[in-house]
Amino acid sequence: MGTLESETVVVTGASRGLGASMAVRFAREGANVVLTARSVDELEEVADRAGGETLVVPADVTDEAAVAGVVSAAREAYGPVTGLVNNAGIGQLSMGGELRPLHEVDVADLRRILEVNVVGVHLLSAAVVPDMCEAGRGNVVNVSSGLGRRASTGWGPYVASKWALEGLTRTQAMELEAEGVNVNAIDPGGRVETGFWDHLPAAERREILDPDVMDEAVTRLLAQGPDGVTGESLTAEEWERRLA
């Protein structure tokens, strides 16, 4: 297993939660870390906490021109991107809404969730994969969910987005395997301390995982060489065992 020393990694949704925790870890592992999300102030706070080599590039992952700007800034600062963590994601609860059966879901909410959780992943991946193919190496890690493998009442739009993400992951892995580029998905393995769960009572919140739950597993995934594991979707714990 390699290291992240001098790797250039883009992390979306890096302003808080899982994304912020991973970005800090990657910087401390020696990577050049490009942090992107919509909130520049929060991104800068994460960069300050990380130390190391970081670059803050605010962007909306659904904006194709903004995504191109993130990748262009990364190349200008550090050279080609070698790692991508598609972490940005939203759901009804994080949007300030509530869980609803599908026939009651606002179409605008459905579209926004699919735009961020699926189209955003496509835009970032499409922007960095050509450089990875040219280099003959690279790692794309898509942050999925247990709801990418099962259904749950009230969560229709989010479930649909994560099932789509699982399919995109496996398809792109097949397409890029011969190019030396690994594409995998990771599920935290439970509820994580994010805005999704602010509505839960205190008793249930005790079961929520810390935001660093995926740090070790994703670090190992990004350190893989061209012959690494690809096309898999596992929980953080399962990935740690797989890549031990």
Cα distance between residue 156 and residue 131, in whole Å: 35
Q: Cα 24 from chain centroid?
A: 14
Q: Side-chain half-sphere of 236: how many Cα atoms within 13 Å?
A: 20
Rg (CA), the chain: 17
Whether 158 sits among the annotated catalytic residues: the reply is yes
Cα distance between residue 39 and residue 81, in whole Å: 22
For residues 60, 65, 66, 68, the Cα torsion angle rounded to the nearest 10 degrees is: 120
Among 78, 155, 158, 239, the active-site one is 158
**Residues labelled as active-site residues:** 158
